């Protein structure tokens, strides 16, 4: 082989190895292959109801023909947090999930058991968000976690996972990330929720597992369980659009809006708990800034003889407010910031 032939072979090999690095490849999920440019809905079938009926979890996949990252929008890890499901539903109906490049995967409901029964947990009474990365032979919740980690996460670059406050506790719209992760902070700034809360990854959580696998996750919290709130949904949608626009995946016709507020970064916060049991009358509004000693609520007996005032122990923002009509001594009634990032 002369020198000219060697150069030709070299350039062919170089192009084959490096010229195809940006080629978009087939996506393999649960035994099915989704090609570039394809739109598919596949079903995750792991278990049946106790009636022996099949239980299918739809996974909606939209792929561009242009190479790019893969983003997962997920909700319903807790079956009663339906505002997240509504957010992902609107991402689909507004066609925000049709990417300019790359792939977008939407799972509106992960814990379909809890969604059907309007409960937080799986039928085995386990919290799915505490059993990751799961086990192939473990509890029902653990098996679901295992297949999410085994089948879905290896294909994912970014996740936005939508949650709501438990029970009657209403969360202000916020992104939660671990402090010190500069890449996640940049993404949180892009999403630009009204609040960004620094919180440690919890062992057994979806977020912790994503972090260990190098998948970049933003956890969105907003609203409360078994409730739909238009303002919370809109914050989540606009943040998601800004996120996709930042990655170059958003269709130009779906242009993201500029955030109407600054994002407040919270380093520390505390729960204010009820000192008495009784009927709960909240005064302070979610997301508001309160001063030390300001009246937040009253707790009264039902007979008109006793009324206890709840005052703020410090100045700060209220990022969670209890909407329950009555409380017991020790119940969490307000979540207040104690230290903001300067």
Domain range for 34 is 27-262
Alpha helices in the chain (DSSP H): 3-18, 82-93, 112-117, 140-147, 182-191, 206-212, 230-246
One domain for residues 121 and 251: yes
Q: What's the pLDDT band for 22 if we cut at 50, 70, 90?
A: low
Give the mean pLDDT of the chain: 92
Would you say residue 18 lies in a domain? no
CA distances from 278 to 19, 79, 149, 293 (A): 69, 29, 44, 21
Is residue 110, in this structure, part of any structural domain at all? yes
SS3 labels along 155-179: HCCEEEEEEEECCCEEEEEEEEECC
Last residue of a domain, one of 241, 262, 283: 262
Query: Do residues 255 and 303 both lie within one domain?
Result: no
Q: Could you report the per-residue pLDDT of 166-203, keeping only the tens digit for each?
A: 989 999 999 999 999 999 999 999 999 999 999 999 99
- Residue 315 phi, psi (nearest 5): -80, 150
User: Which residue among 262, 294, 325 closes a domain?
Assistant: 262
Task: For 88-147, write each residue's pLDDT tens digit.
Answer: 999 999 999 999 999 999 999 999 999 999 999 998 999 999 999 999 999 999 999 999
Residue 289: its H or E element: strand 289-290
User: Are 105 and 197 in a shared domain?
Assistant: yes
- 240 occurs within a structural domain: yes
DSSP 59-112: EEEEE-SS---EEEEEE-SSTT-HHHHHHHHHHHHTTTTS-SSSEEEEES-S-H
Cα→Cα distances 199→144, 207, 240, 263, 298, Å = 25, 11, 21, 16, 30
pLDDT in tens, 258-282: 998 899 999 999 999 999 999 999 9
Whether this prediction's pTM lies above 0.85 is answered by yes
Do 282 and 213 belong together in one domain?
no
Tell whether 286 and 245 lie within a shared domain: no
For residue 4, tell me if it sits in a domain. Answer: no
Tell me what the mean pLDDT of segment 210-222 comes to: 98
Q: What distance in Å separates the CA atoms of residue 213 and residue 119, rounded to the nearest whole number? A: 29
């Amino acid at each position: 082989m002369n020198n000219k032939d060697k150069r030709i072979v070299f350039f062919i090999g170089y192009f084959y190895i490096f010229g195809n690095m940006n080629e978009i490849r087939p996506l393999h999920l649960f035994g099915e292959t989704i090609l570039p440019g394809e739109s598919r809905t596949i079903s995750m079938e792991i278990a049946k109801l106790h009636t022996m009926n099949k239980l299918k979890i739809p996974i909606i996949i939209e792929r561009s023909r242009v190479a790019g990252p893969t983003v997962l929008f997920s909700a319903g890890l807790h079956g009663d947090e339906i505002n997240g499901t509504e957010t992902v539903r609107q991402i689909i109906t507004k066609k925000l999930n049709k990417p300019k490049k790359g792939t977008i995967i939407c799972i509106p409901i992960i814990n379909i058991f809890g969604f059907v029964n309007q409960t937080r947990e799986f039928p085995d009474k386990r919290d799915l968000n505490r059993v990751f990365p799961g086990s192939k032979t473990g509890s029902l919740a653990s098996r679901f976690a295992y297949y999410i980690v085994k089948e879905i996460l290896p294909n994912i670059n970014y996740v936005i996972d939508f949650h709501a406050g438990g029970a009657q506790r209403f969360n202000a719209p916020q992104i939660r990330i671990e402090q010190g992760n500069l890449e996640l902070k940049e993404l949180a700034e892009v999403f630009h929720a009204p609040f960004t809360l620094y919180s440690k990854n919890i062992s057994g959580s979806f977020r912790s597992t994503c972090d260990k696998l190098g998948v970049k996750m933003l956890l969105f919290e907003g609203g409360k369980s078994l409730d739909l709130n238009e303002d919370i949904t809109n914050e989540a949608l606009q943040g998601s659009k800004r996120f996709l626009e930042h990655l170059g995946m958003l269709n130009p016709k779906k242009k993201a809006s500029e955030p109407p507020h600054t994002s407040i970064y919270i380093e520390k916060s505390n729960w204010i708990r009820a000192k008495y049991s009784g009927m709960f009358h909240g005064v302070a509004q979610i997301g508001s800034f309160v001063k030390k000693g300001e009246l937040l609520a009253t707790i009264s007996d039902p007979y008109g003889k006793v009324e206890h005032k709840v005052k703020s122990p410090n100045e700060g923002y209220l990022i969670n407010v209890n909407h329950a009509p009555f409380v017991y001594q020790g119940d969490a009634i307000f979540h207040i910031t104690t230290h903001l990032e300067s």
